[in-house]
Chains A and B, each alone.
Chain A
Amino acid sequence: MAKSRIGRAEQRNGWLFIAPTLVLLGLFMVYPIVWSLWMSFQTGRGMNHSFGGFTNIIRLTQDPVFLRALTNTGIFLVVQVPIMIVLALLFAAALNNPKLRFRGFFRTAIFLPCVTSLVAYSILFKSMFASDGVINDLAIMLHLMDAPISWLGDPFWARTVIILAITWRWTGYNMIFYLAAIQNIDKSIYEAARIDGVPAWARFRYITLPMLKPVILFTTVISTIGTLQLFDEVNNITTGGPSDSTLTLSLYIYNLTFKFMPSLGYAATVSYVIVILVAVLSFLQFLVAKDRKA
């Protein structure tokens, strides 16, 4: 009897404590995502819209700008995420060596880009990659190239700058996760391997990497979601140009809603493409990770 009263009080408190959260998330997360789904079947301009069935989905497949944004986002994803994760792993492995000198300095230096805001570092990159700017000067001085490159004026190089920028900003962030995870690995495993004469690269390949798999999966999923939402960098470094070569899905949704004549239904359809991509890619990454385990 007494116990059930306490139980009921606990139940009540449990709901009371999470009530503000549930109200806020319901209003500002669940409602918008459901509204978005409904909206993606509406056509029309501004606030005037009517049911359009699959009109928006058909429009997607014929919209060259959307297809370019999708391709660009795909390129950023496929090229940038693996480069960054491999770099972060290498740095983490190197910094884990207790005999390494200036360890604290290296760790802080590589992590430092994480404290900048996305807008601030984007602007630094934009100014450094100006056509007669400091990067061209340094590269020519070091004989890395003969003539200056028009970094932000050429589709290929503009994409390269975006990839370099994101890698600069996020490698240290991922490295910190790997470093924390490596330090949790039981040292005796390495001792045993060393005594058995397993070389360093093999210890990395057959002990460190498998032990880090959950963290690598976590960071891959986070990076994938982040890349699919890429906005701040492209809007501030290239504004999607030249000729839409760095336009991303998020920037396209922004343009559809706030730059052009607002086409809310179509913008909602494009945003659902991101939702579906995030869901499918996260699921695939989990499948791959599970498969390797078996």
Chain B
Amino acid sequence: MSRVFAQARSGLVYAGLSLAAFVSIFPFFWMLVGTTNTAPDIIKGKITFGSALFDNITNLFAQVDMVQVFWNSTFLAIVGTVLTLAISSLAGYAFEMFPSKTRERVFAVLLLTLSIPFAAIMVPLFVMMAKLTLINTFTAILLPSIASVFIIFYFRQATKAFPHELRDAAKIDGLKEWQIFLYIYLPVMRSTYAAAIIIVFMANWNNYLWPLIVLQTNENKTLTLVVSSLASSYYPDYGVVMVATVLATLPTIIVFFLLQRRFVEGLTGSVK
């Protein structure tokens, strides 16, 4: 009797998980099918592959300077990631390695700012950038994101596991603090860096609200902005939109499948 019950329950578990997997994957399938269909077919819900792929790609490249747009997104994501990691990992390292009461208080204040929503500071930030005549520049996009409290916190947690003997030994060998950071800490912590790179790169690549406010001319727009504006016209050409969406999603999917374990570690590592 209880075996029948257990079997029924495990059947239910498989059914639930299969449904969840189907629902999770279907939009990806929908996106791929969409790239091969015409806009009217997409709106009518056609779920079989069509023959409009080539037309959709041609139309997209005719409407948008895709090379420029792809470069803008790539540039912002890579430069943003490098700067964020440099500045924020340095701070996370220092908060853990050079303990002091004052810095501990500063750190507590930093943690408080984690709960400040971006919506609350976007208006003053915009006014500030306007005064500095930085509107429509990549500098305005990058500046507010470089010091990331989340990444500082992440590195501080990870530094707790960094063996202090390494630092002591390097000091006896006469290395300066910045040399220790650069030549000892950085190579030892490369898996922490890898996970952080994934988080920051994705956040930058997918950033929407702040670029939407700051970047105003077409030659400066990012891929995310282009996808959004293509889809928000009155009669969006969904075939074109789907091709752009695939291009916008592809880099993060590739990173995910290449570095799946690091990816998950990066997400959960900071709360352990």
Which chain A residues have a beta carbon within 8 Å of chain B's beta carbons?
9-11, 13-18, 20-22, 24-25, 27-33, 35-36, 39, 87, 90-91, 94-95, 97, 100, 105-106, 108-113, 115-121, 123-128, 130, 132-138, 168, 171-173, 176-177, 180, 184, 215, 218, 225, 228-229, 231-232, 235-236, 239, 249-250, 253-254, 257-258, 264, 267-268, 271-272, 274-275, 278-279, 282
Q: Which of B59-67, B83-91, B186-194 contacts A (4 or more CB under 8 A)?
A: B83-91
Does B82 lie at the interface of the complex (its beta carbon under 8 Å from any beta carbon of A)? no
A271 adjacent to B123 (CB under 8 Å): yes
Does B57 lie at the interface of the complex (its beta carbon under 8 Å from any beta carbon of A)? no
Which chain B residues have a beta carbon within 8 Å of chain A's beta carbons?
13, 16-17, 20-21, 23-25, 27-28, 30-31, 34, 42-47, 87-88, 90-91, 93-95, 97-98, 100, 103, 106, 110, 113, 115-128, 143-144, 146-147, 149, 152, 177, 181, 202, 205-206, 208-209, 213, 224, 227-228, 231-232, 238, 241-242, 245, 248-249, 252-253, 255-256, 260, 264, 267-268, 271-272
Among A100, A127, A128, A173, point to the contact of B13 (Cβ < 8 A). Answer: A100
Known: A31-B124, A33-B121. A121 touches B27 (CB 8 A): yes
Contacts of B94 in A (CB 8 A): 13-14, 16-18
B45 adjacent to A36 (CB under 8 Å): no
Interface residue SS majority, chain B: helix
Q: In the complex, what distance in Å separates the CA atom of A120 from the CA atom of B34?
A: 13
B80 vs chain A, min Cβ distance (A):
13
Contacts of A106 in B (CB 8 A): 17, 20-21
Q: In the complex, what distance in Å separates the CA atom of A275 from the CA atom of B16?
A: 38
A120 adjacent to B227 (CB under 8 Å): yes
Q: In the complex, what distance in Å separates the CA atom of A228 from the CA atom of B21?
A: 28
Contacts of B30 in A (CB 8 A): 124, 127-128, 134
Q: In the complex, what distance in Å separates the CA atom of A54 from the CA atom of B249?
A: 46
Q: In the complex, what distance in Å separates the CA atom of A10 from the CA atom of B110?
A: 21
Contacts of A116 in B (CB 8 A): 27, 249, 252
B164 vs chain A, min Cβ distance (A):
13
Q: In the complex, what distance in Å separates the CA atom of A30 from the CA atom of B116?
A: 10
B45 adjacent to A132 (CB under 8 Å): yes
Known: A112-B25, A123-B241. A274 touches B45 (CB 8 A): no
B249 adjacent to A176 (CB under 8 Å): no
